[in-house]
Chain A
Amino acid sequence: DTVLTQSPALAVSPGERVSISCRASEGVNSYMHWYQQKPGQQPKLLIYKASNLASGVPARFSGSGSGTDFTLTIDPVEADDTATYFCQQSWNELTFGSGTKLEIK
Chain B
Amino acid sequence: EVKLLESGGGLVQPGGSLRLSCAASGFTFTDFYMSWIRQPPGKAPEWLGVIRNKANGYTTEYNPSVKGRFTISRDNTQNILYLQMNTLRAEDTAIYYCARTYYRYWYFDFWGPGTMVTVSS
Are B109 and A43 in contact, CB atoms less than 8 angstroms apart? no
Interface residues of A in 39-54 (CB under 8 A from B): 41-45, 48-49, 54
Q: Give Cα A43–Cα B111 distance, bound, in whole angstroms.
A: 7
Are A96 and B45 in contact, CB atoms less than 8 angstroms apart? yes
Q: Give Cα A105–Cα B115 distance, bound, in whole angstroms.
A: 32
Q: Name the one of A31, A42, A97, A99 contacting B112, with C-beta atoms under 8 angstroms.
A: A42
Q: Name the one of B43, B97, B105 contacting A48, with C-beta atoms under 8 angstroms.
A: B105
Are A98 and B44 in contact, CB atoms less than 8 angstroms apart? yes
Given the complex, which residues of B lie within 8 Å of A97, measured CB to CB? Answer: 44
Are B114 and A42 in contact, CB atoms less than 8 angstroms apart? yes
Q: Name the one of B44, B106, B109, B110 contacting A96, with C-beta atoms under 8 angstroms.
A: B44
Are A96 and B105 in contact, CB atoms less than 8 angstroms apart? no
Write out, one digit per residue, whether chain A residues 66-101 have a CB within 8 A of any chain B CB (1) or not (0): 000000000000000000001010100111111100
Q: List residues of A whose CB falls within 8 A of some B CB.
A: 31, 33, 35, 41-45, 48-49, 54, 86, 88, 90, 93-99
Q: List residues of B whose CB falls within 8 A of some A CB.
A: 43-47, 63, 97, 102, 105-114
